[in-house]
Structure 1
Amino acid sequence: MDNTRIEILDAKKTALVVIDLQNFSVGMTPHAPYPAGTVVENAVRLTRRFTEKGAFVVFVRVSFSEDGKDSFRPRTDAPPGKPNFPDGWDVLVPELQAFKNAHIVTKRQMGAFYGTDLDLQLRRRGIDTVVLCGISTIFGVDTTAREAFSHSYHGVYIEDAMTCASKEHQDFVCQNIFPAMGKVRRTDEIALV
């Protein structure tokens, strides 16, 4: 471990925000460069570390109403098609359900800020730094990172606690986008005081 990369964060001013570790996204394949199980394991390690220090932990999930009328339907060149979600698709993975004090945010789009109470909850607690991880790096995590940056939060992005459909996509975001908005670290490079 490179001690020069250890990020020491103030537990009172930092929140862990875990994106979309729910049955559907964890069950999708492929995942690269990390399998979903590794991402969940590292997110649990971070959650435990943050919880032990009394830091604010947020689990974000995406969900829609039964009729789907609250889902986004943009005009795109690659229409998403009509999803056929199985029962329980939007339930957080069991490993996260063990953490009863985490704040749950339900989003209806890629990012976790727009249309949710995330910014309100962070500001009321005096949070100025968000640590992000989850699935998918290029959608939910990246969009939330950009929103956090636009809301003037300091960002720390946990590269080995996120994944997406290809290593190339992950590498592009982690090497080009995230460093311009904050710091890219690994699970073992985060310390709270």
Structure 2
Amino acid sequence: MRAGKVTWLAAVVALAVLASGCAAPGTRDGDVPATPTDTSSPALSSSPPVLAEPTGRQPDAPANHADNNGWKRRHELSAADERAGRELAARIRPPLEALRAAGDFAPASTQGALLDLGIQADAITVAAMRPPIGQETPPPGAVYAVRFGNVGCVIGDVRPDRVMVEVTGAAAEFGCLEPFSH
């Protein structure tokens, strides 16, 4: 009799799994309705298929993720700003690579290298690397930002393993260098 109970229980579980996984497309929350792929019939090819956009909260992000991170949105750069930023980045990289090769990761050295390029002091922000969460000692390196034009930034860092140089737009809330948050 025990084998009969196990078989009956397995049948109920299999039926439940089958029923939950085989609902018609478009009948569950977040489903996109099925569209026919055979367009050989004139009735099917007369108008393009319409696909529903998924609605509701996406499972990997909180409902208010976009609102909470809106302060991080950066300005779009014009073609001229993008070009000016790439030219500035090309000037910035070599002296920072020289600092890295020399093993000099001090923020003051990074600041000095940027000033030596003729960049105005008020356009430069340099800070020490932040310690990882749970540690008190920061890793060697410096982060920097150079503001150019109305909304352009060259941002990056100097570390033992790399020099990062990135051209981007400034954010309305904080400018070029994103403040630390966790």
The bucket for the TM-score relative to the shorter chain is: under 0.3
Give the TM-score, by structure 2 length. 0.24
Structure possessing the higher relative contact order (Cα contacts under 8 Å, 6 or more residues apart): 1
* Structure with higher strand content: 1
